[in-house]
Amino acid sequence: MAFLKRLLIQYNQLQKDPAPLCFAKPKDQDNDITHWTGYIDGPPQTPYAGGRFYLVIDFPPDYPFKAPRVQFTTPIYHPNISAKGEICLDILHSQWSPALSIRALLLSICSLLTDPNLDHGLNREALKCCEMDRKQFEETASQWTQKYASKQA
């Protein structure tokens, strides 16, 4: 039960001090505070600008000692995000710390959109394209953003 209280506290903190370009909340606060939905708006001056990328966050019973499971539901062309929406980010795996807040997690994912980690990729095609032809990578990522994540659609 302590982890449910912690989730509620973090949700209240996130409402008071929202992360720039990010939003997340429990899908059904009254019945299940462990399943959240949210989005990240594409950072300016990236191929993701103008897009809104939806995600789900599921908190395990041993949170905060175990990282939440975060997955994009909007298709996104990125070296560190798989076709299934899985995210390759150290703080979601080996570098997770119970001290990390949900706000910090959202900001880290947003930062990944600005600066892909080319040492660890889940999308091999996007990784190879980013390494070999950055301009082509950015064009493809921008096309995917317009096709799947446009806020104007």
45: CB partners within 8 A, 6+ apart: none
Extract the tokens encoding 61: 């019973």
pLDDT tens across 48-94, in order?
A: 999 999 999 999 999 999 999 999 999 999 999 999 999 999 999 89
**Cα–Cα distance between 144 and 137 in angstroms, integer?**
11
Predicted TM-score (pTM) of the model is 0.94
CATH number for the domain harbouring residue 35: 3.10.110.10
From the list 88, 110, 129, 130, the catalytic residue is: 88
Question: Could you give the number of structural domains in the chain?
Answer: 1
pLDDT at 96 over 90: yes
pLDDT, tens only, 111-145:
999 999 999 889 999 999 999 999 999 999 999 99
* Dihedral Cα 150, 111, 141, 42, nearest 10 deg: 10
List Cα–Cα distances, 48 to 111, 129, 145, in angstroms: 12, 16, 6
CA distance 31 to 102: 20
The residue type at 131: E
Complete edge-to-edge strand list for the sheet that includes strand 52-58? 22-28, 32-41, 52-58, 69-72
Is position 22 annotated as part of the catalytic site?
no
The residue range of the domain holding 103 is 1-149
Please state which of the ranges 6-10, 40-44, 122-126 shows the lowest mean pLDDT: 6-10
How many CA atoms, within 13 angstroms, populate the side-chain half-sphere of residue 40?
27
Distance CA 24, CA 101 (A): 12
Contact yes or no for 36/104 (Cβ under 8 A)? no
Asked whether residue 152 carries a pLDDT value surpassing 70, the answer given is no
55 in the Ramachandran plot: left (φ > 0), alpha (ψ -120 to 50) or beta?
beta
Closest CA to 129 of 90, 79, 58: 79
Residue in the structure block whose two tokens are 């892909």 = 116
Q: Can you give the pLDDT at residue 118?
A: 93
14-28 average pLDDT score: 94
